[in-house]
Every structure is written in structure tokens, then in C-alpha cells.
């Protein structure tokens, strides 16, 4: 009798198989979880590194520009942190811009971004090669003195090569120009001659102040000196005598001032003062003496010419007399010859 084998699992083996499968599933789930945890940790490290890099950059930027920004903020200069960073990339010195903006704000100037002294305008002037601090100082000085000078005009004057700060100072405190200027011409006095021929040596002092409206394109000090010197010489030359000039030197000043010599120049003439007058040579008398001497030389030359002509005529007359004498001798020599011929021919008759 054959005994059959029942291959169906028993209850115990069935539960063991289910437990084994559960264990395998748990292991697979743990491995998957561990992998996911490792991936998440890696991304977290990358993000953390990126944030640390950004934080380092922020710290560096704050260390570089924080002090300037805080200074501008506390002064009400209206300079943003973004502008400070951008200045470095635009090759602009942020310290100069912030200092200029702070000075303008503290002086009570308008720093409005549209019509005032804005950061962009100051940067533009800096990039154009202008003297930012000189322009700001000039505007502040003009503002304190009540002179109308905006940033655009001051920047234009500065870029034109003029010292805008010195121009404002000259507008407030006029300066004195010597006429003539010994440093430029090497002369200390002007030489002028009155109608009577007497020379006067004059030294004048011209007080001028800057005309900001004509500073761009206006003539310089050399033109003022030349015009004033020409007018002084012309005024003295129109005087009848040098005594008139010595009696009323202010007449020359009034005459010169009335001619508006400061037209189309960068200056406005305040006054012209005659500092010194010296009497020089009598040029008229010397010229007359020279003329008389020249006339004498001419007369002598003419007399010598006439004498030479007389001597030549005398010699000519002497030659003529000698010629006539020779002709007379020849004629006298023909008389005996004619008489002898008459005797031979028998034609000689006596009465």
C-alpha cells in the first residue's frame, strides 16, 4: 500500500513564510528610507553651503560699504546700499560721492533725485573727470553768499577748465589786478604821451569780480589788462597837456570805466584806480630836436649839392674860356697867312 505525501504547508510553515516575506519587505523599506534620508541630507548640505556663501558675500559687502551707508543714512544724504555697490563696478570712488552728498545735505542744498544734487549727477561728473569736491564746495560757498549757482552750471564751469571755487570766491571777495602785470609783461608802468609831447608813466590797479554767467567762453584777465592799458594810453593821448592828467587822474578812471571794457569777459570791473603817475621824458621836444637836426642835415646836403653844381658850372665856364682863347689864337694865326697870300696875288690894297 502506497502511502501519499501531502505537500501542502502546514499552518506553522505558512506563517513562517509570511513572516519571512514581511521581514524582507521591512528590510527593503528600511533601505529605501535610508537612501531617501541620505539624498535629503545631501541637498540640505548643498543648500546650507549656498546660504553660507551668500552670507559670506553679504558680510563682505556690509564690511566694505556699511560704514559709508550708515554715514549717509544718519546724515540724510539719500544714498542707497545698491548705489554704493554699483559704484565699485562703475569705477567710481564711493567715499568721494558719499562725502560730497553728505556735505550738500548738511549745507541745506537740495539733494532731490530729479532736480537736486542727486547721486547719479555726482557720479556722472566724477566719470567725466570733474573735481567733485571743488564743485560741491563752490556751490556751498555760493549758497552761503546768496549767489545763484546750481550744480549743472558749476559742473560745466569745472569741466571747461576753470576753477569754479576760485570763481565763487572772487565773486564774493573781488580781487585786484595790476595793469600792467609785471609777471606777464615784465613791465611795471604804462608809457603814454600827451599832446604836448610829455611822457607819463602810469601804474593802475583794476578791481574785478567774477561774472559767473559769462565764465564759460568769456575772456580772461589778460584781455582785461590789455583793454584797460589801451584805454588809459588813449585817454592820456587825447589830453592837451600832461598837467591836465596830473591835476585830475580820476578823469582817466571815469573815462575808462564808461567804455564797458568788461564786455564778453569772465569778469566785471568794479573800479579802476590810478596807483602811480610819474613824468617821463619830453618826447615831443626830443622829436622836434631830432626833426630839426634832420632838417639841418637835409639843408646841408642841399647846400652841398648846390655848391657842387656851382663848382662844376665854374669849371665848365673856364673850359669854355680856354676853348675860345684857342679859337682866337687860331684865328690870329690865319692873319699873316692871309696877308702873304694877298701879296702874292697882288690883291693887297691900302686906303
pLDDT band at 134 (very low <50, low <70, confident <90, very high): very high
% pLDDT > 90, the chain = 6
pLDDT confidence of residue 31:
60
pLDDT band at 18 (very low <50, low <70, confident <90, very high): low
Domain map (residue ranges) of the chain = 81-165, 172-280
Name the CA radius of gyration of the chain, rounded: 57
Q: How far apart are CA 96 and CA 132, in angstroms?
A: 8
329 has pLDDT over 90: no
The stretch 212-221 carries a mean pLDDT of 83
Burial 148-168 (b: 16+ CB within 10 A, else e): ebebebbbbbbbeebebbebb
Residue range 76-116, pLDDT digits in tens? 888 888 888 888 888 888 889 889 999 988 888 888 878 88
Q: How far apart are CA 226 and CA 260, in angstroms?
A: 13
* Cα 86 → chain centroid: 34
Contact 193, 283 (CB under 8 A): yes
pLDDT confidence of residue 12:
61
309 has pLDDT over 80: yes
Point out the least confidently predicted range of 40-44, 51-55, 120-124, 275-279.
Answer: 40-44
Give the residue with greater pLDDT, 101 vs 245.
101
Residue range 38-69, pLDDT digits in tens? 557 767 777 777 778 777 766 776 667 778 88
Average pLDDT, the chain: 81
168 has pLDDT over 60: yes
Name the CATH code of domain 172-280 (choices 2.30.290.10, 3.30.479.30, 3.40.50.300, 3.30.1160.10). Answer: 3.30.479.30
DSSP characters over 42-78 = HHHHHHHHHHHHHHHHHHHHHHHHHHHHHHHHHHT--
136 has pLDDT over 90: yes
246 has pLDDT over 50: yes
pLDDT confidence of residue 122:
92
6 has pLDDT over 60: no
DSSP characters over 264-311 = TBSEEEEEEEEEEEEEEEEHHHHHHHHHHHHHHHHHHHHHHHHHHHHH
Amino acid at each position: 500500500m502506497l502511502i501519499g505525501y501531502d505537500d501542502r504547508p502546514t499552518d506553522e510553515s505558512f506563517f513562517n513564510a509570511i513572516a519571512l516575506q514581511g521581514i524582507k519587505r521591512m528590510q527593503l523599506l528600511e533601505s529605501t528610507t535610508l537612501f531617501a534620508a541620505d539624498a535629503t541630507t545631501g541637498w540640505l548640505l548643498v543648500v546650507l553651503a549656498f546660504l553660507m556663501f551668500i552670507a559670506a558675500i553679504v558680510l563682505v559687502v556690509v564690511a566694505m560699504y556699511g560704514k559709508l551707508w550708515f554715514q549717509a543714512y544718519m546724515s540724510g544724504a539719500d544714498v542707497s546700499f545698491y548705489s554704493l555697490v554699483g559704484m565699485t563696478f562703475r569705477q567710481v570712488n564711493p567715499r568721494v560721492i558719499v562725502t560730497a552728498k553728505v556735505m550738500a545735505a548738511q549745507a541745506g542744498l537740495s539733494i532731490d533725485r530729479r532736480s537736486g544734487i542727486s547721486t547719479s549727477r555726482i557720479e556722472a561728473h566724477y566719470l567725466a573727470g570733474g573735481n567733485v569736491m571743488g564743485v560741491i564746495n563752490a556751490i556751498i560757498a555760493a549758497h552761503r553768499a546768496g549767489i545763484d549757482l546750481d550744480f549743472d552750471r558749476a559742473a560745466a564751469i569745472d569741466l571747461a577748465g576753470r576753477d569754479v571755487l576760485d570763481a565763487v570766491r572772487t565773486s564774493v571777495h573781488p580781487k585786484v589786478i595790476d595793469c600792467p602785470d609785471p609777471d606777464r609783461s615784465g613791465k611795471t608802468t604804462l608809457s603814454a604821451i600827451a599832446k604836448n609831447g610829455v611822457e607819463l608813466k602810469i601804474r593802475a590797479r583794476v578791481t574785478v569780480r567774477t561774472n559767473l554767467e559769462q565764465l564759460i567762453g568769456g575772456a580772461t584777465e589778460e584781455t582785461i589788462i590789455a583793454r584797460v592799458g589801451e584805454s588809459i594810453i588813449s585817454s592820456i593821448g587825447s589830453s592837451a597837456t600832461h598837467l591836465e592828467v596830473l591835476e585830475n587822474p580820476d578823469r582817466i578812471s571815469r573815462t575808462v570805466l564808461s567804455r564797458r571794457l568788461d564786455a564778453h569777459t569772465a569778469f566785471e570791473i568794479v573800479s579802476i584806480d590810478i596807483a602811480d603817475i610819474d613824468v617821463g621824458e619830453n618826447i615831443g621836444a626830443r622829436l622836434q630836436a631830432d626833426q630839426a637836426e634832420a632838417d639841418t642835415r637835409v639843408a646841408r646836403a642841399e647846400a652841398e649839392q648846390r655848391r657842387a653844381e656851382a663848382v662844376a658850372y665854374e669849371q665848365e665856364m673856364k673850359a669854355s674860356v680856354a676853348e675860345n682863347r684857342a679859337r682866337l689864337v687860331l684865328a690870329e694865326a690865319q692873319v699873316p697867312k692871309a696877308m702873304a697870300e694877298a701879296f702874292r696875288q697882288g690883291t693887297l690894297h691900302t686906303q
